[in-house]
Structure 1
Amino acid sequence: MGYEQLAELRSMLAEKARRQAEEKASQDRSQKNVVDGDASVRAIDILQRRFPKAFPRSPASKVPLQLAILSNLLANAEDLSLSEGDIRAAVATWCREPRYWAALTAGALRRDLAGNLVGIVTETEARRARYWLRKHASPTPKPALTLTPVGILQLRYWISDDW
């Protein structure tokens, strides 16, 4: 091999190494976006990957979960590589969202981690969910203050009366 061929081979190997490094960096960046977020968001992402039927991703509607699902998740904490606090925060975040409460309708089927049917939502639970939705729904915007000629006169009188 001549010097030219060795130089060409060296540049090809350098280019290949650069491409592999870029691919690895892009994979790391895509995974880093999840890890950089809140611990509960990261834990929810892990739960969605591990238990997709119990924790479906966003376009799909949420499903009512088994009543003792937290204890089942805590039993699997070591397999999930999550702390007890992360799991508790993830379940609390998941179950406090309006999409979850909207899924709690009377007669809806509850699911365990594997997606198996394990119970139904009672009328009392559905009533509580409706109450929670009404209580935590975003308030309707109030109309902007409009001053009529009478209102302006009253405002002027009030200002001049105090001064």
Structure 2
Amino acid sequence: MPTEKQWKSPSVLFAYLSEKWPDAFNTKAPKPLKIGIREDIRALDSELSDEDLSRALRAYTRTGKYLAQLLPGATRIDLDGKAAGEVTEADAATAQAWLLARFAKGGAEQSPEPKPEPESSAKPDPKRAENKAKLSADRPAGLVVETKRRRSLGRRDR
């Protein structure tokens, strides 16, 4: 049995799960897992703490390879690798949202540095200045905002 410190690593947890249930847990070619597989594991295995099991399943089901397999109608598998349901449209949409968010986050982190603003000594664009003059001629000189005061339900000056 691994030490408490070793359980912290998802790779050790994946190795443990794939050793016990190789048909269900394959990190190289994951398949959608049955809904409620946590309870099945809990019934058969008492070595993992609830926290470690939750961490392992969360890490496994959030890998890019696993999320990419969650397509509508794909077959879910149980611990023995047998069919145990299908991926719903909602589950597939959630998986796609996770992947898109991950790619968006990764793209933002890897984007090049923003370009510096052009210096103020650069020549102004004549067309831009002309458009600015037209816009300012159409606008009133001052902007007036009117607000209404809300009356409170319990007036004190009655």
TM-score > 0.5 by shorter chain: yes
- Displacement of 1:83: 1.9
Rate the CA distance shift 1:128–1:152 in 2: closer, same or farther, 3 A.
same
Counterparts of residues 39-58 of structure 1 (less than 5 Å): 39-58=9-28
- After alignment, is 104-113 or 124-133 more displaced? 124-133
Contact 2:30 2:65 in 1 (8 A): yes
Q: What TM-score do you get using the length of structure 1 for normalisation?
A: 0.62
2:113 alignment counterpart: 144
Counterparts of residues 83-94 of structure 1 (less than 5 Å): 83-94=49-60
Counterparts of residues 87-126 of structure 1 (less than 5 Å): 87-126=53-92
For 2:27 and 2:102, the matched residues in 1 are separated by 23
Aligned pair count reads 116
Amino acid at match of 1:144: E
Rate the CA distance shift 1:154–1:101 in 2: closer, same or farther, 3 A.
farther
Displacement over 6 Å in runs of 4+? none
* 1:129 aligns with one of 84, 95, 98: 95
For 1:139 and 1:39, the matched residues in 2 are separated by 27
- Displacement of 1:142: 2.9
Residue 68 (str. 1) matches residue 46 (str. 2): no
The alignment partner of 1:110 has SS state of: strand
- Displacement of 1:125: 1.2
The alignment partner of 2:100 has SS state of: helix
Identity %: 27
Deviations 1:49-104 (A, max 9, x none): 1111111132xx211000000111111222xx222221111111111222211110
Contact 1:39 1:86 in 2 (8 A): no
- Displacement of 1:37: 6.6
Gaps in structure 2 of 5+ consecutive residues: 123-158
CA-atom RMSD, angstroms? 2.4
2:8 alignment counterpart: 38
Contact 2:75 2:83 in 1 (8 A): yes
Contact 2:72 2:88 in 1 (8 A): yes
Gaps in structure 1 of 5+ consecutive residues: 1-31, 156-163
1:3 alignment counterpart: none
